[in-house]
C-alpha cells in the first residue's frame, strides 16, 4: 500500500480553492508555512513521487501549480498579490523541479510589472523575478529557455518605473520600488552582463539623480537608495566587452575625483587654500560673484546644483560614492589611485581649527575678502559633514587594503587628529574619529613611537570623557540664573524660581551617547589598552584609561589592562585592576581562567608571593590546633608566626625592586594535566626561587635578606644567571603586579 501524501500539501490545495480571493493576502503567511513544510515533496524528482506515494502527490503538486497560475493571471488584484508570494515561496523550496515549470509564472510576473497593478505587487514581482533569474543561472538549459528570453522585457519594464519624468526629477514609482529595482539590477548585472550591455547607458541615466542628491533636486533620497543606485552604476563596468571592465571602473573613479575637485573649487571659494594637487588634479580660480553652482545636464554625469549647502551635500555624496567604489567587488583586478584619493582627502582636511575654544574660523583659516559673511558662516557649518565623509573614505581604505595602508598611517593620523581637534565639540565627529582610530590601531598601534602616541592624547581624553559622561559620573550642572537688583528694577519683573531653594532651581542634566557612538568608544578604550605600547603612555593617561574601564564596567578594556600591565620610565609597576575585574565579572569564564593561571598554589615548587587574609586565618587555626594537640612538645610562638604572616602581606606594598629575570620574562606553557590545555603564565625568576628556598628559615635570616635589597630603585640590578630548573617556575599570584615586556631594559 502506497503511503499517503503530506497533510500540508492536501490542506494547501484545499485552502487555495476554499478561501475567498479577497482574503488570500491575509492568509498568505499561513499558506507559505504549509509550502515550507512540503519542501521534500516539492523538490523531489517526478519519478520519485510516483515511486514513493503513487500518483497522489504528483496530482496534488500539479493541482497546486495550476491553482497558482490561475490566481496569477486572474482579474482580482488581491489574488494576484497572493499568487506572487506563493510563487516565490515555491521557487525557494522547490529547486530545479519547480524552476523547470516556472515559465508560465515568469510571464505572469512580467505582466504584473508592466501593467497597472499596485506598486506593492510590482515590488514583490520584481523581487520574485530576480530570485528566479538567480536560481536558474547554474542550469544552462533553463537560462536559454527562461532567462535569456525574458530578461530584456524585465529590464525595459523596470526602466519605465524608475526613469524620471520629462518635467521633474521624481520617478513614476515610489522610492521603495526604485530601491528594489536597483538591488535587482546590481545583483543580475554580473551574472547576465551580456544581456544588460545594450541597456547600460539607459540605466546610468535613470539612476543618476540618486547617486549624490542635493537640496537642488527637490526630492529627499534615503541613504539606502543612494547606496543601491551607486552599486548599480559601479557594477556596470561588468558589461564592458572582453577585458575592458578594469578601464571602465577606473574611468568612474577618475570622473568622480574630477567632479569632487570641481565642486570643491566652488564650495571652498571663501577660503584661501594652501593645498596644491600632486596627482594631476589642481584647484581652479572661480568667480566670487553670484551663487556657487556645479553639475551637468549630461546623462552620464551628476545633475546640476546651486547654493553652498547643495555643494556641500554634493561633496559628501561624492566621498560616499568613492567609498562604495572601494567597498563593492569588481569583475577583474583594477588599479586604485590611492595617492589621488588621499590628495582629495587632504584638501578638505587642511581646512580645520587647531584650537576651537580660543580661535574662530576667520582666525584659523585664511579667507577670501570678496566672499560675504553669510557664505562663510554657511561654509563653517558644513565643514564637519565634509570632514566626516573624508574620514569615512579613509576607514574604507583601511578595511580594504589592511597592511597595504601601513606606509600611509602617519598621514592618516595627521588628518585624523587635525579634524578631531577642529570638531571635538560635535559628537558625530568624535564617533567618526573613534571608528577610524579603531581601524588604525590593530595595524600600526604596537609599533607607534612615543611622539605618535602623544599626538593621540586628545582622542584618549575625549573617549574617556564620553564614556564617563554616559555612565553618569560626569554630569553637567548648569549655573542657576541670578538677577541683580538693578536688573530687577529696570525690568520691573521678578522671577519666582529664583526664590526657591538651590536644589529646586538647579537641574542636573546627564549626557547619554547614541548606541553607535558608545560602541565605538568602548571598542576604542579596549584598543588603547591592548594595541598601544603602554610604556609610551603618560602615567596620568594610563590611570585615566584604567579608571574609565572600571567605572564603565568595560570587560574587554579591563581584561586588556590586566594583560598589558603598566611600568613607568623609572621601572615602577602600577597596580593591576584584576581584583576589580574579578569582582565585576565573577561568573566570566575568561576571567576565571586568567585568575586561575595567575594563582599558582597547584604548581609544584611554587609559592604564593602575597598571602591572603583567609590563608593567614587558616594558618592561625592550624597553629592553635597544633598547640592544643602538641602536649609535651615545644611551645609555638604565635606572636612570631603572626608577625611573619603580616610581613608577608606587607611585602608587596613597598616599592618593588627590578629583580634580574631572563630575557623572556613571560613564557606560555601548556599544562598537560588540564584537559583544555589552558595556557599557564609563568615567570622564571632565580631570586624568587631563593626566596622559596629560604621560606623555612628563621625570621631573623629572612629579615637579613630583605635588608640586603638595593636602596636606590633607579639603579639597574645586575643580571642573574639563567636557571633551567623546573622548580624555578613561579606562577604569578592574583595580587601580583605583572611585569611588562623587556622594552624598558632596551631603553
Identify whether residues 384 and 323 lie together within a single domain.
yes
Identify whether residues 300 and 417 lie together within a single domain.
yes
Identify whether residues 421 and 459 lie together within a single domain.
no
Identify whether residues 358 and 395 lie together within a single domain.
yes
What are the angstrom distances between the C-alpha of 232 and each of 181, 183, 208, 228, 239?
10, 7, 10, 6, 11
Identify whether residues 416 and 529 lie together within a single domain.
no
Q: What is the pLDDT of residue 42?
A: 87
476: which strand partners? 509
211 assigned to some structural domain: no
Could you tell me if 257 and 344 are in contact, meaning their C-beta atoms sit under 8 angstroms apart? yes
743 assigned to some structural domain: no
Identify whether residues 257 and 391 lie together within a single domain.
yes
Q: What is the pLDDT of residue 495?
A: 57
Identify whether residues 305 and 370 lie together within a single domain.
yes
Q: What is the pLDDT of residue 181?
A: 96
517 assigned to some structural domain: yes
Question: How many residues comprise the chain?
Answer: 747
Identify whether residues 458 and 410 lie together within a single domain.
no
- Among 366, 399, 425, the domain boundary falls at 425
638 assigned to some structural domain: no
Domain span at residue 295 reads 242-425
CA atoms within 13 A on the CB side of 71: 27
For the sheet containing 666-670, what is the strand order?
666-670, 679-684, 729-731
Identify whether residues 386 and 470 lie together within a single domain.
no
Helix (H, G, I), strand (E, B) or coil at 421: helix
CA distance 553 to 551: 6
Could you tell me if 10 and 60 are in contact, meaning their C-beta atoms sit under 8 angstroms apart? yes
- Among 621, 655, 680, the domain boundary falls at 621
Q: What is the pLDDT of residue 363?
A: 87
CA distance 593 to 606: 18
496 assigned to some structural domain: no
Q: What is the pLDDT of residue 40?
A: 87
470 assigned to some structural domain: yes
Could you tell me if 58 and 49 are in contact, meaning their C-beta atoms sit under 8 angstroms apart? yes
Q: What is the pLDDT of residue 591?
A: 85
- pLDDT mean values, one per 10 residues, the chain (747 residues): 69 89 91 91 71 69 91 90 94 91 93 89 95 94 93 94 66 88 95 93 92 88 95 94 86 94 93 84 83 86 92 96 94 92 95 87 88 92 96 96 93 96 94 96 93 95 94 65 48 52 49 91 96 92 94 94 88 87 88 75 36 42 56 43 37 35 34 33 39 43 36 35 38 34 44
Sign of the C-alpha dihedral, residues 196, 200, 204, 206?
Answer: negative
275 assigned to some structural domain: yes
Q: How many CB atoms lie within 10 A of CB 314?
A: 29
229 assigned to some structural domain: no
Alpha-helical segments (H) within 354-456: 361-364, 373-401, 409-422, 427-444, 450-455
Identify whether residues 255 and 398 lie together within a single domain.
yes
Residues in contact with 76: Cβ distance below 8 Å, sequence separation at least 6, in sequence order: 21, 22
Identify whether residues 376 and 465 lie together within a single domain.
no
φ/ψ of residue 719, rounded to 5: -70, 145
Could you tell me if 117 and 85 are in contact, meaning their C-beta atoms sit under 8 angstroms apart? no
Identify whether residues 457 and 372 lie together within a single domain.
no
CA angle 307, 312, 315 (to 5 degrees): 125
- The domain total for the chain is 2
- Among 392, 425, 458, the domain boundary falls at 425
Amino acid at each position: 500500500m502506497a503511503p499517503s501524501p503530506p497533510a500540508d500539501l492536501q490542506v494547501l490545495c484545499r485552502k487555495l480553492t476554499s478561501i475567498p480571493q479577497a482574503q488570500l493576502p491575509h492568509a498568505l503567511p499561513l499558506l507559505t508555512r504549509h509550502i515550507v513544510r512540503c519542501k521534500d515533496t516539492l523538490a523531489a524528482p517526478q519519478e520519485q513521487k510516483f515511486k514513493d506515494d503513487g500518483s497522489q502527490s504528483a496530482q496534488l503538486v500539479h493541482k497546486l501549480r495550476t491553482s497558482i497560475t490561475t490566481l496569477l493571471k486572474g482579474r482580482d488584484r488581491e489574488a494576484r498579490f497572493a499568487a506572487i508570494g506563493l510563487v516565490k515561496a515555491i521557487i525557494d523550496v522547490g529547486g530545479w523541479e519547480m524552476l523547470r515549470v516556472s515559465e508560465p509564472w515568469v510571464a505572469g510576473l512580467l505582466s504584473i510589472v508592466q501593467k497597472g497593478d499596485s506598486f506593492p505587487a510590482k515590488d514583490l514581482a520584481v523581487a520574485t523575478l530576480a530570485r528566479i533569474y538567480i536560481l536558474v543561472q547554474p542550469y544552462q538549459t533553463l537560462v536559454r529557455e527562461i532567462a535569456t528570453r525574458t530578461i530584456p522585457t524585465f529590464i525595459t519594464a523596470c526602466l519605465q518605473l524608475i526613469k524620471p519624468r520629462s518635467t521633474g526629477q521624481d520617478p513614476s514609482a515610489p522610492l521603495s520600488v526604485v530601491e528594489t529595482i536597483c538591488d535587482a539590477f546590481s545583483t543580475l548585472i554580473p551574472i547576465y552582463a551580456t544581456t544588460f550591455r545594450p541597456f547600460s547607458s539607459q540605466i546610468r541615466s535613470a539612476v543618476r539623480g540618486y547617486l549624490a542628491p542635493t537640496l537642488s533636486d527637490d526630492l529627499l533620497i534615503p541613504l539606502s537608495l543612494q547606496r543601491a543606485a551607486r552599486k548599480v552604476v559601479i557594477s556596470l563596468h561588468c558589461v564592458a566587452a572582453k577585458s575592458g571592465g578594469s578601464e571602465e571602473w577606473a574611468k568612474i573613479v577618475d570622473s568622480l575625483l574630477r567632479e569632487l575637485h570641481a565642486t570643491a573649487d566652488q564650495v571652498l571659494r571663501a577660503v584661501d587654500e594652501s593645498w596644491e594637487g600632486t596627482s594631476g588634479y589642481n584647484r581652479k580660480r572661480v568667480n566670487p560673484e553670484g551663487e556657487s553652482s556645479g553639475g551637468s545636464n549630461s546623462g552620464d554625469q551628476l545633475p546640476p546644483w546651486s547654493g553652498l549647502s547643495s555643494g556641500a551635500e554634493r561633496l559628501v555624496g561624492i566621498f560616499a560614492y568613492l567609498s562604495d567604489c572601494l567597498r563593492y567587488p569588481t569583475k577583474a583586478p583594477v588599479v586604485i589611485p590611492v595617492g589621488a584619493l588621499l590628495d582629495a582627502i587632504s584638501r578638505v582636511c587642511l581646512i580645520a581649527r587647531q584650537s576651537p575654544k580660543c580661535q574662530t574660523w576667520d582666525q584659523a583659516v585664511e579667507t577670501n575678502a570678496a566672499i560675504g559673511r553669510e557664505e562663510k558662516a554657511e561654509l563653517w557649518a558644513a565643514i564637519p559633514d565634509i570632514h566626516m565623509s573624508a574620514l569615512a573614505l579613509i576607514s574604507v581604505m583601511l578595511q580594504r587594503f589592511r597592511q597595504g595602508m601601513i606606509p600611509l598611517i602617519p598621514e592618516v593620523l595627521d588628518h585624523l587628529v587635525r579634524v578631531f581637534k577642529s570638531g571635538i565639540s560635535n559628537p558625530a565627529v568624535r564617533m567618526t574619529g573613534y571608528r577610524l582610530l579603531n581601524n588604525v590601531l590593530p595595524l600600526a598601534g604596537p609599533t607607534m613611537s612615543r611622539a605618535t602616541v602623544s599626538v593621540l592624547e586628545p582622542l584618549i581624553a575625549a573617549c574617556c570623557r564620553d564614556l564617563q559622561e554616559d555612565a553618569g559620573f560626569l554630569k553637567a550642572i548648569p549655573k542657576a540664573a541670578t538677577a541683580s537688583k538693578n536688573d530687577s528694577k529696570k525690568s520691573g519683573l521678578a522671577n519666582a524660581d529664583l526664590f526657591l531653594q538651590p536644589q529646586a532651581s538647579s537641574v542636573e542634566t546627564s549626557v547619554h551617547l547614541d548606541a553607535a557612538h558608545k560602541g565605538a568608544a568602548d571598542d576604542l578604550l579596549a584598543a588603547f589598552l591592548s594595541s598601544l605600547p603602554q610604556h609610551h603612555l603618560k602615567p596620568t593617561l594610563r590611570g585615566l584609561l584604567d579608571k574609565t574601564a572600571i567605572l564603565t564596567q568595560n570587560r574587554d578594556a579591563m581584561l586588556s589592562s590586566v594583560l598589558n600591565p603598566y611600568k613607568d620610565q623609572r621601572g615602577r609597576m602600577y597596580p593591576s585592576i584584576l581584583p576589580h575585574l574579578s569582582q565585576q565579572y565573577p561568573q566570566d569564564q575568561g576571567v576565571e581562567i586568567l585568575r586561575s593561571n595567575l594563582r599558582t598554589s597547584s604548581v609544584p615548587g611554587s609559592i604564593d608571593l602575597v598571602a591572603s587574609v583567609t590563608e593567614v586565618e587558616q594558618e592561625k587555626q592550624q597553629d592553635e590546633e597544633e598547640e592544643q594537640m602538641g602536649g609535651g612538645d615545644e611551645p609555638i610562638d604565635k606572636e612570631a608566626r603572626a608577625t611573619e604572616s603580616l610581613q608577608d602581606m606587607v611585602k608587596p606594598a613597598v616599592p618593588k625592586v627590578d629583580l634580574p629575570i631572563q630575557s623572556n620574562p613571560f613564557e606560555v606553557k601548556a599544562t598537560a594535566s588540564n584537559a583544555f590545555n589552558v595556557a599557564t603564565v609563568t615567570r622564571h625568576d632565580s631570586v624568587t626561587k631563593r626566596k622559596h628556598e629560604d621560606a623555612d628559615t628563621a625570621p631573623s635570616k629572612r629579615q637579613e635578606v630583605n635588608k640586603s635589597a638595593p636602596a636606590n630603585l633607579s639603579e639597574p640590578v645586575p643580571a642573574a644567571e639563567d636557571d633551567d630548573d623546573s622548580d624555578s617556575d613561579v606562577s604569578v599570584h592574583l595580587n601580583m603586579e605583572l611585569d611588562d615586556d623587556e622594552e624598558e631594559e632596551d631603553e
